[in-house]
Structure 1
Amino acid sequence: MDLTKHKHWQLQNGQVLATTEIFSKIIAQEIDKNELCRTQQGAWQPLGNVFSTIGKYGILRELGSGAFGKVYLGIEVDKRQRHERLVAIKKPAESVLRQYAQEEGKSDREGEMWARMQIGQVFSNEALLTARLAICPHVVKVIDHSVTEPYIALEFCNEGTLAQRMAKSYTIKDIYHWGRQIACGLQAAHSLQPDALIHRDLKPQNILLHNGEIKISDFGTSQMTYMAESLRSLKGGYTPKYAAPEAINGQAYTATDIWSFAVIMFVVICHEYPFAGENITQLMMKITCQDPKPIAKCSKFPLDNSVYDLLNRCFEKDVQQRPTAEECVAVFSAIPLENKQQETIVDISREKTVAKTATSLPQNSTTSHDDKPHFAESNRLQNRLAQQANSIQTIAAANKSRNARTKSRKAKAKRSTTQTPPKKSKCLLFAVIGVMVVGAVVISQRKAIKRFIYKQPMRTKITTNKTSATNPVKNKPRQKTVPRKIQKPVTKEKARVLPKEKSKKIIISKDIDGFVFTGRITYELGNVRNTVREYKHLETGIEFVLLPTTGIDLSPFMIGKYEVTQQQWRKSMGKNPSQFNKNVYAKGDLHPVENVSWRDAQRFCQKYGFDLPSGKQWEYACRSRVKAYYYWGNNTFIPSYVVCADYWQLVLQKRGKNFRDTNVNWVTEGTVTQPVGSTPRNLFGLHDMLGNVFEWCLGQGTKPDSRMVRGGSWMSPRMQCNHAYVYYFSSFATKNEVGFRAVKNFDE
């Protein structure tokens, strides 16, 4: 039943509730599911038959179904925060669970429970993989998942898939827009550290649109490796028409996604596939051995030649010859969209657009329906265009004759001598009178208005009847003014609010002595938008970011983009005290310097006019104005975003080891500090704010000699890796998990 069509329901006790209210009561177990309900004109039914839930979500309707299971439109109702959110929920079918258990030789009841746990773990892996891309706006975000009751709740996209959008009209600007955003999503996945994330099954059905923006989904497909027949469609497989040659042979690289991206853009531009075959064997043979159709000849749109050259490079058989996702983003971003004509292929709104579209489409189409899967109406389009062109010409002629008649009537009215002067509008007269009255009231009561604005106490007058009592002949009462001391009580005088002076805005020049300006960058995540300026210190080579401090109680300051590295320390101070240096690791110079005390870090900073960050400065830089527990915009900890003990535990589990095992050598396994910049940046462009090494700050603890550290380290649990955790070490202490980050303050 589609609950989106019904907003209110009547209960058996006469109470009328909205759909969201009923869901919140069912989830909170405040109402009996056996109670009867009905719509305004419907029959009585039990609540349990109409309203179904999955976890903490209410099911509104079914969005789609497949061999694996179904996708539902759900709603999350939070009574405490008065929050309602639509989500898409994927849940496996019961038949799939039973079949999977039977194929593994499990009994009925125990096997079904085992299958639930296994598929729930698959969903957990998908949630973990997709959470690594939470900062990217062009990837569908995972909101929630469950292992015991296997389901996964995803961000709901209100415009469906790209395959559905391709069946409608679109413009050249849409093509460039889609290409750039798909490439941005792939760039975010391919640039993850330490291992890139490969999609393996990129196609229009896995690309969604939300308010016109591209969202790539199903990144977890690459890790779903169950061999059961019921789950064979989930195995890191591919769709043949979008598969690269190496994918057919069971291999996958980042360039594999680039090939699929090129196939999608080929279908969008040409309305057909680059490779076509009568069966799957013939199709794979052409993909492996032949070149694609010439895109410049098959194109239905006059696109920039750089797009054609890029897509031809994407179809190279050698994976080393294909461009990266970053190059694809650069090509689509370099095309100026303002100068491009908005040409549609279906929707006709102007005569010029009709003429251009009619000439751009072929008159005789011989392509089969299989080659144009999303453009079934292409063969009927020419007749429709011709009819609309004729109708537009007829309408234009009628408009021309009507304009001629209108001009003749106006000319006759102008020549007539019996014109009557227009009447004055009563509304205008009333408006003028109202303005005059308001002005008179304001002028007469200007003193009272001034006292009201500045909250000054009013002078009060007390009348006494003493005169009339002694001399009853005089009926006129005598007025006596209260002295000033009684009129203005001390409490009210103290509470008086005066207008505040405007705070001075400190402007930092683009050119700063000793620094070179490297760029101005804007970062976005949801409603948060930060614009920062980046500099590089000429003497030490440290990269700094000038943070925006407008509207907060902090003076302007720059903070290091990365933690101070061993190479920068050795260049300035001579000896490198770090334990994990280049003698242990090949890239040791790029690791953060550690084994330095608070006093050593202060000595380094004072040598170049820097300082250590205060607690407020460090926390503001870490949060980066994101209103969430973690800077990636989520309240859920993501181990792959932080070099910490939880992350190394996941790495060692794949090797069959435990991070907390005393027999495990952390140095040999490489589960210690990593080169700076290994984790994703926050919305200020800062890396490694959480994990890798603790960072010294200026705060002092309860003991005179203790100093503050923030951010957690490579051996810290997740509870220590957040913006709020504070710990203290001795200012003389040197530890292999403590480093620092430099700050440049600007005096007011």
Structure 2
Amino acid sequence: MKINENWSLSNGEKLTTSEIFLRLVQKQISSELVCWNEKNSQDIVNKRFAILNNRYGLLRVLGEGAFGKVYLGVDIKRLLNTKTRFVAIKRPTEKILHNYAQQSGYKHNENLSSKQNEQEAIQWAKLELGQMFSQEALSTGRLSSCPNVVSILDHDIRSPYLALEYCNGGVLRHRMQQPYNAEDIERWAKEIANALQASHSLQPDLLIHRDLKPDNVLLHNGILKVSDFGTAQMKLESESLKSLKGGYTPRYAAPEAFDGTAQPATDIWSLGVILYEMICKESPFKGQTMPELMRSIFVCEATDIEEKAIYPVSSRLKELVMRSLNKDPQQRPTAKDFLQTTVEKEVTETEFSINEITPHDNVEQCKKRHKKRSKSRYLILFFIISLAILAFWWKGMDNADVVNVASMPGFKFLHEKTYSCGGQTHTMKEYRHDRTGMEFVLIPGGSFNMGSNDSGVGVDEKPMHRVSVNSFLLAKHEVTQEVWRSVMGDNPSYFKDSKFSDVKDNKLPMENVSWTKSKSFCDRLGMRLPTEAEWEYACRAGTRSKYYWGNSMDGNYAWHSNSSRQTHKVGQKSPNAFGLYDMAGNVWEWCADWYDSNYYTSSTTNNPQGASSGSRRVIRGGGWDYHTGDCRSADRHYASPSFFVNDLGFRPCITWTADN
């Protein structure tokens, strides 16, 4: 059920889901009315619309576990103020309550019937579990300032439930089944460790999680948040092969956990198992049965992570993971140790620097320009003063708005515009393509450091190397469906139906197109796809940071996991310092090059064209449903030239020939 879904009522009214919840709470409609819509058959309102504690409307089930079910709910109280707040409602089922009463020592009253005894047992279990939920709320409430812990918003003892912060990215276990990279693992390790550090540092009584595993770690806007502090102590017979005394799940339990012992180091073991699984794609301890698994955990040593590692994480993190799996709790690291991990090599500006980007027509002119910089400081000072005087004089002229620019056949000059981003500021010349109306930016040729030497990045991004490119025109936006249709006569995009977006499809980026079809589009217009070097140069726009705006993800610049799982109208996010939009996120972008993971070791310096042959083409920039690491300026990916998917598009470019 969706919050804005429309319903017909037997009294003749047509209301949305949120309006029905509001009317029921305010007693403005009868719960005995019949409701229906195009997707759902007729049913009584009070059966279709469940309301908890006269406060939360239950929309659908999100998941189910040892404690019961988790529902997606809406805070009806907020709806009264025309605000929508989604919450996750954790609530035990009748079966869970019954099992808990049986296991936990409820004594039947001989003076009551079996049915009455069962009802009494359920009420007793509700109070017991309600107290546990209350304890979890109080315990987790002390962690409210930690950004990596799921917040508890509300709870009730008599009708036990917990209302938690709704996390839109699902559980970590599902995320681990999707593509990720070493940078993600490094970040996730710190985010989980940050939650453990906060809980292990509480005073006067520290808080131990007791059941840390990927199912109890959630994602919200790409950030990990640990959940279920406290309820892990619930012991349910239905989960007897999955949970131990104290709450631990055997696969992630330290040796001492099998005796019911809990200490901070026991949580660290669980973190080590999770990270080992991330890095190696397999568990460090295996067993088909409980005795086999216990023997592996108690007796066997985990295979050295260096032998099993699939992802090139830092040696520091590998060392911490292996120490976490030490049988002796005293020999394990602390959560704080994970937070102090550093990259293996710091890139200094002396080793890698980017000179101020200045326009030039070819690389030789750039070299000559560098030679001129060796002249005396007095000549440079005189030149600067002369320019200042000239600028002052030019500003006072009547025709100051006239810009002397070169023309380009098939393009109309629009204006010069200044952009600032990531500590860089550039004034760019912009043109409009006569046939399609697409806007292009003249990217001034220059030199930059391509790739990354950072710890944790893909081996295909190394080594960082110096590259020079000539000037070229690059589309300001990714090709839109409107432009594609005007050139190709069709629209194979996935997100073209209004049911996926409230944005008209003409400004949505083109996707679902292969490299072959993208090249065909460019060929019809006398354009081409940018080389990988041109793409990264244009993306960076003079920056040396991970992203073209800084070193951490900022949703003001990119559509990624914040996209509600769809593309968005081009140009809604802030541009880079070259005035280019959506270079990170929204849709991946095809490049002209063949992909070769070792190409950077032998790349040419001037205008590199990529590998001479191959079976896969380069794609860059990340897409609407990818993690933040894929949006880094240096991140490289690939796909078959015939491959197409709903998060892969392109932007064309053209070699600048006006001054040749």
TM-score, length-scaled by structure 2? 0.50
Of 159, 166, 170, the match for 1:156: 166
Q: Deviations over 1:378-437 (max 9, x none)?
A: xxxxxxxxxxxxxxxx968995998799599xxxxxxxxxxxxxxxxxxxxxxxxxxxxx
Correspondence 1:201 to 2:211: yes
Which residue is equivalent to 2:454?
340
CA distance in 2, matches of 1:264, 1:284: 17
State the partner residue of 2:21: 23
Partner of 2:268: 258
Distance 2:521 2:51 in 1: 64
Are residues 307 and 79 of structure 1, via their aligned partners in 2, closer, same or farther at CA, if it must alter by over 3 Å? closer
Matched with 1:125 is 135
User: Could you report, residue by residue, the CA deviation over 1:155-206 in whole angstroms, capped at 9, with x for unpaired residues?
Assistant: 1111111100010001221111101101101000000001111112111111
Please say if residues 172 and 218 of structure 2, whose CA atoms lie closer than 8 Å, have aligned partners that are also in contact. Answer: yes
Judged with a 3 Å threshold, the aligned counterparts in structure 2 of structure 1 residues 335 and 396 are, in CA distance, closer, same or farther, namely farther
Alignment match, 1:50:
48
Contact 1:74 1:86 in 2 (8 A): yes
Amino acid at match of 2:168: N
CA deviation after TM superposition for structure 1 residue 281, in Å: 1.2
Once the two structures are superposed, what CA deviation does each residue of 1:692-737 show, in whole Å capped at 9, x if it has no partner? xxxxxxxxxxxxxxxxxxxxxxxxxxxxxxxxxxxxxxxxxxxxxx
CA contact 2:69–2:90 (8 Å) conserved in 1: yes
* Superimposed CA distance per residue, residues 536-573 of structure 1 (whole angstroms, 9 cap, x where no aligned partner): xxxxxxxxxxxxxxxxxxxxxxxxxxxxxxxxxxxxxx
Q: Is the 8 A contact 1:140 1:217 kept in 2?
A: yes
2:88 maps to 88
1:278 is displaced (CA, Å) by 3.5
- What is the aligned counterpart of 1:105 among 104, 107, 114? 107
Residue of structure 1 aligned with 2:325, choices 315, 320, 328:
315
The match for 1:59 is 58
Structure-to-structure mapping, 1:78-477, within 5 angstroms: 78-102=78-102, 104-106=106-108, 107-221=117-231, 223-224=233-234, 229=237, 233=243, 236-331=246-341, 339-340=453-454, 406=526
Is the contact between residue 255 and residue 322 of structure 1 (CA under 8 Å) also seen in structure 2?
A: yes
Contact 1:157 1:210 survives alignment (8 Å): yes
Structure 1 unaligned runs (5+)? 346-351, 355-393, 409-748
CA–CA distance in 2 between the matches of 1:236 and 1:58? 33
CA contact (8 A) 2:3 2:16 kept: no
Change (3 A) 1:87 1:5: closer
After TM superposition, give the deviation of residue 13 of structure 1 in Å: 2.8
Cα deviation, 1:262-318, whole Å, max 9, x if unaligned, reads 110100000011112232212212212222111011111222211112212212222
The residue type paired with residue 92 of structure 1 is P
Q: Answer whether contact 2:323 2:333 (CA < 8 A) is retained.
A: yes
Instruction: For 2:68, give the aligned amino acid.
Output: G
Question: Is the CA contact 1:61–1:73 (under 8 Å) kept in the aligned structure 2?
Answer: yes
In 2, Cα distance between equivalents of 1:28 and 1:166: 44
1:317 aligns to what SS in structure 2? coil
Distance 1:283 1:200 in 2: 19
Q: Percent identity?
A: 43
Deviations 1:414-469 (A, max 9, x none): xxxxxxxxxxxxxxxxxxxxxxxxxxxxxxxxxxxxxxxxxxxxxxxxxxxxxxxx
**2-structure distance, mates of 1:120, 1:266:** 36
CA-to-aligned-CA distance 1:214-235 (integer Å, 9 cap, x gap) = 00011113554x6x74686595
Aligned pair in 2 of structure 1 residues 399, 195: CA closer, same or farther (>3 Å)?
Answer: same
User: How far apart are 1:37 and its partner, in Å?
Assistant: 2.0
Matched with 2:74 is 75
Q: How far has the Cα of 1:95 moved from its partner?
A: 2.2
Q: Is the 8 A contact 1:176 1:332 kept in 2?
A: no
Residue matched to 2:447 = none
| Alpha-carbon distance in 2 for matches of 1:41, 1:301 | 45
Q: Distance in 2 between matches of 1:271 and 1:119?
A: 36
The match for 1:575 is: none
Q: Aligned partners of 1:105, 1:17: CA distance in 2, in Å?
A: 48
Maintained 8 Å contact 1:119/1:150:
yes
Query: Matches of 2:325 and 2:92 in 1, distance apart?
Result: 36
Which SS does the other structure have where 1:208 is aligned? strand
What is the aligned residue count?
360
| Aligned 8 A contact 1:65 1:71 in 2 | yes
Take 1:315 and 1:308, find their aligned partners in 2: how far apart are those partners?
11
Where in structure 2 are the equivalents of 1:505-544 lying within 5 Å? none
For residues 344-381 of structure 1, the C-alpha deviation after alignment (integer angstroms, 9 at most, x for no partner) is 79xxxxxx689xxxxxxxxxxxxxxxxxxxxxxxxxxx
Distance 1:108 1:73 in 2: 29
Equivalent AA in structure 2 for residue 87 of structure 1: V
Q: Aligned letter for 1:271?
A: K
- Counterpart residue type for residue 312 of structure 1: M
Q: Provide the aligned C-alpha RMSD in A.
A: 3.4
**Kept after mapping to 2: 8 A contact 1:138/1:184:** yes
Q: What is the distance in 2 between the residues matched to 1:83 and 1:405? A: 48
Deviations 1:98-148 (A, max 9, x none): 344455123233222222111111111111111111110100111111111
Q: Which runs of 4+ in 1 moved over 6 A?
A: 333-338, 341-345, 400-405
Q: Higher mean Cα deviation, 76-85 or 36-45?
A: 36-45
Instruction: Tell me if structure 2 keeps the 8 A contact 1:125–1:223.
Output: no
Distance of 1:8 and 1:398 partners within structure 2: 40
Distance 2:66 2:210 in 1: 19
C-alpha distance in 1, partners of 2:228/2:82?
30
Aligned-pair distance for 1:7?
1.2
**Alignment partners' CA distance in 2, 1:396 and 1:134:** 51
Q: Which stretch shifts more, 229-238 or 215-224?
A: 229-238
Secondary structure of the residue aligned to 1:126 is helix
Aligned-residue offset at 1:81 = 2.9
Partner of 1:715: none
* Structure 2: runs of 5 or more not aligned: 109-116, 348-451, 463-513, 529-660
Whether the aligned pair in 2 keeps the contact of 1:259 and 1:315 (CA below 8 Å) is yes
Q: Name the counterpart of 1:548.
A: none
Distance across 2 between alignment mates of 1:398 and 1:154: 45
How many Å separate the matches in 1 of 2:520 and 2:11? 66
Give the 5 Å matches for 1:599-610: none
1:119 match: secondary structure: helix
SS in 2 for 1:331: coil
Change in CA separation of 1:287 and 1:264 when aligned onto 2, cut-off 3 Å: same
Deviates more, 1:131-140 or 1:281-290: 281-290
Asked whether 1:11 is paired with 2:125, we answer no
CA contact (8 A) 2:245 2:260 kept: no
**1:126/1:220 contact within 8 Å kept:** yes
SS of structure 1 residue aligned to 2:15: strand
* Distance in 2 separating the partners of 1:100 and 1:195: 27
* 1:220/1:399 CA distance change after superposition, 3 Å: same
Larger radius of gyration: 1
Which protein has the bigger helix share?
1
What is the one-letter code of the residue matched to 2:75?
E
